[in-house]
Structure 1
Amino acid sequence: MGNEIPAKGPFVQFDFEVSFTHGGRLEGQRFRLKEDGWEAGESQLAELLVRELQLQSVREVRIFNTETLRENDAEVEDAERRSSGMPASIIDLSHTIAHGMETYPGFPAPQVSDYLSHEASKGRYAPGVTFNIGRIEMVANSGTSIDSPAHRYAGGADVAGLPLEVTADLDGVVVRLAGFTGRAVLRQHLEGYRVSNRAVLIETGRGRSWGLHGYFEEHPYLTKDAAAYLRDEGALLVAIDSHNIDDTSDPDRPVHTILLDAGIPIVENLTGTEQLPDEGFRFTAAPMKIQGMSAFPIRAWARITDGAASASRQHS
């Protein structure tokens, strides 16, 4: 048929979990590796993943939900989805928080346990009916989390006071900087993107190192000038795939100071932005509505919209 899209080289899409000898863990969803002319088994995919991400001190790699795709399958799926009325694709952009894991240098690790286990609940209900009630103790800035103005300013709006208009269903744009040299994200890195009235997601590539030794060291960050630019251009929310949007060696914390003073929420420890188009998606990072919390973990995600563009840079 004349309107068929010819198949290009195949690639493999899969989810993975990597554990390390030092106890950390790295997870990924819908990760893709392109390779022509072979059918990859799980052991081969594990070797390629370790090599591609340059991982070290790996203890175990688990590969699951493996699927072989044509290079243009995403285009075909989008066309079928639009014609059938299926909902848009949802991309998870959050790290998993696990018991005992390091989520920030010097902060206590999350403690996840049972308040009531299935075993302990036996006899409280009908025969064969059990329930689990969990409990967790953790620092609010754990995993993929959002900062409210109260995080920086006493008396500022806390996470319960963050309007949904700046945390949910926002038009989004990805600023792709993976592979850039240095650590500082400058104003010049942002100027080619349309950021007004948008969630601005800064992709440095650091998110792929979550759980690895060195994730918290020499991390990427925004400069004061870059933060002022995002404020002045009217960004609604700013997110980064690093554990801190500021240079942690600078006690002034200028980026938190500028953005939160303007009521612009900050999301840190983002992940998975490589699965997004540069634009053409709606971003959500809404926290639980808890009074007194200046920051809180979130389940950040993006919904791919129809007609997602392949690039968001403005062309003169």
Structure 2
Amino acid sequence: MIVDLSHEIVSGMTTYPGIAPPRVTVVTSREQSAARLGTGVSFEIGSAALVGNTGTYLDSPYHFHADRADVAQVPLERLVNVPVAIVDAFGEPEVTAAHLGDPGALWGKAVLVYTGWARHWGTSRYLETDCPHLTADAVEALVNANVALVGIDSLNIDDPADPNRPAHHGLLGADIPIIEHLTNLDRVPADGARLTALPAPVRGMASFPVRAVATYDA
């Protein structure tokens, strides 16, 4: 089975309050190309102007730490065919270390936190800052468990009201990349799935959209 964990990017949409929306435009239209090609032949070239933090995206360590890997430098071993552990925190305002269960079971895995917040995607409710997030003790447990990656289906992996941003600072400081704004985590088994989530390798970018997919045997 293949489960798409990424939201579609639509021109003009809002991912996060204050972040400019993406703009998808046509650079060369089919009509323009048809004028210089053979009969019945045409193509289109488009342009997407977007902030790295658009849709479902990967935060690289460089996002919070200037001396760490950007999106082009994150090791592929952390992003391709990584075993998944789903943390079920549906409806919880905060995700604590207690929600993670046995840290030993998370070792080397992509830990994906299911809060259910994705059900609000595309509404004003999704953008409100009382979104589910990780607590500092959860971050410490994840770092100590040497996880490969942490993802969440929420507006922010941190409490937007906390200026210290413990999840971003702590996870990225340990070279653990983050994926925010995931979806469809309720369709992924708690264990046994694998995650692939690849950004375009753009040098100097701290964050970039990914097509995240989970695969598992039905």
Q: TM-score, normalised to structure 1's length?
A: 0.67
Residue of 48, 53, 61 corresponding to 1:141: 53
CA–CA distance in 2 between the matches of 1:212 and 1:247?
Answer: 19
Aligned twin of 2:97: 187
Q: Residues 14-33 of structure 1: matches in 2 within 5 Å?
A: none
Aligned letter for 2:46? G
Q: Residues 55-74 of structure 1: matches in 2 within 5 Å?
A: none
Q: Does 2:176 align with 1:292?
A: no
Residue of 113, 126, 138 corresponding to 1:226: 138
CA–CA distance in 2 between the matches of 1:293 and 1:251?
Answer: 22
Give the deviation of 1:305 after TM superposition: 3.3
Deviations 1:162-204 (A, max 9, x none): 1100111100011111133xx1111111124621110000000
CA–CA distance in 2 between the matches of 1:128 and 1:179?
Answer: 54
Secondary structure of the 2:215 match is strand
Aligned twin of 2:15: 103
- Aligned-residue sequence identity (percent) comes to 44
Aligned letter for 2:13? M
Give the deviation of 1:213 after TM superposition: 1.5
Secondary structure of the 2:199 match is coil
CA–CA distance in 2 between the matches of 1:91 and 1:188?
Answer: 27
Aligned letter for 1:300? A
Secondary structure of the 2:155 match is coil
CA–CA distance in 2 between the matches of 1:179 and 1:253?
Answer: 21
Gaps of 5+ in 2: none
Deviations 1:141-169 (A, max 9, x none): 01100000110011211000011001111
CA–CA distance in 1 between the matches of 2:138 and 2:83?
Answer: 20
Query: What do you get for the CA RMSD once the two structures are aligned?
Result: 1.1
Aligned twin of 1:213: 124
Contact 1:282 1:305 in 2 (8 A): no
CA–CA distance in 2 between the matches of 1:215 and 1:179?
Answer: 13
Q: Report runs of 4+ in structure 1 exceeding 4 Å deviation.
A: none
Give the deviation of 1:239 after TM superposition: 0.1
Contact 1:201 1:238 in 2 (8 A): yes
Residue of 41, 47, 51 corresponding to 1:129: 41
Secondary structure of the 1:178 match is coil
Pairs aligned (count): 216
Secondary structure of the 1:259 match is helix
Secondary structure of the 2:124 match is coil
Gaps of 5+ in 1: 1-88, 307-316
Q: Residues 229-308 of structure 1: matches in 2 within 5 Å?
A: 229-305=141-217
Secondary structure of the 1:300 match is strand
Give the deviation of 1:286 after TM superposition: 1.4
Aligned letter for 1:274? D
